[in-house]
Copies of this chain bind each other. A is one copy, B any other.
Amino acid sequence: MTHSEENYLKAIFHLSRQGTGTISTNAIAEQMDTKPSSVTDMLKRLSDKDLVNYKKYQGVSLTETGRYSALAIIRKHRLWEVFLVEKLDFTWDEVHEIAEQLEHINSEKLIDRLDTLLGHPKFDPHGDPIPGKNGEFKERDKELLSKMPVGGKGVCVGVKDSSATFLKFLDKNQIALGQQIEVLDKEEFDNSMHIRIGGEQLLVSHQIASNLYLKPSEES
């Protein structure tokens, strides 16, 4: 598989686990910052290799093999991200670009050893789950902060938008994975939320709140 093919599979996988229903050529083109015509070309090639199910004008989906391959790449990407943060002291906003390159390195032994070195982590630095060696993958239990009720509590477990700008904003405001967050109040006007985080109080906009995932604590 070429780097390009791998990138397409990854994109299709990501789109299929958020977007609703079938995946359009345009959506892939946008995600990958390329032209729809290029996408069509690639879809044909991936279809020839039985990595996707593709019928003209009808959208795409991954085949069993395609999904498996996509998960393998995502596994590599996320393990490398953990490596960069844990072993090389990168910050969580710096790792994505480098991992985009490292994810294409081909060596099963390398990934196995890396996994061991890192202690078989289950989540990457952004809180996203790391697929298992045999393609096991399940999303973690989580809820957007913006959807939590007033009085709700939870632990910050991930971000939806993982752009460097957003991550840097979080760092600046001392918001990090693993931190306890409590919803104190919601403003009707703009849906911004008053939250308590690490002893401090903070007012966050709706846009922030709808990009932060919490694992809700059980309420009695």
Contact = CB atoms under 8 A, between A and B. Distances in A.
A90 to B, nearest CB: 7
Interface in A68-119: 84, 87-90, 94, 97-98, 101-102, 105-107, 109-110, 113-114, 117
B113 A89 contact: yes
A97 B105 CA distance: 11
A176 B176 CA distance: 47
A87 B94 CA distance: 22
B98 A110 contact: yes
A186 to B, nearest CB: 41
A87 B117 CA distance: 8
- Looking at A106, A110, A113, the one whose CB has the most chain B CB atoms below 10 A away is A110
Interface string A172-199: 0000000000000000000000000000
A102 to B, nearest CB: 6
Interface residues of A, number: 18
A106 B87 CA distance: 18
Instruction: Label chain A's interface by main secondary structure.
Output: helix
A107 B113 contact: no
Nearest to A84: B110
Nearest to A102: B105
A210 to B, nearest CB: 32
A81 to B, nearest CB: 12
Nearest to A97: B107
A74 to B, nearest CB: 18
Given A84-B110, A94-B109, A101-B107, 4 more contacts: A88-B113, A88-B117, A101-B105, A101-B106
7 contacts: A88-B110, A88-B113, A89-B113, A94-B109, A98-B107, A101-B105, A102-B105
The 6 closest A-B pairs by CB, nearest first: A88-B113, A101-B105, A98-B107, A98-B110, A88-B117, A102-B105
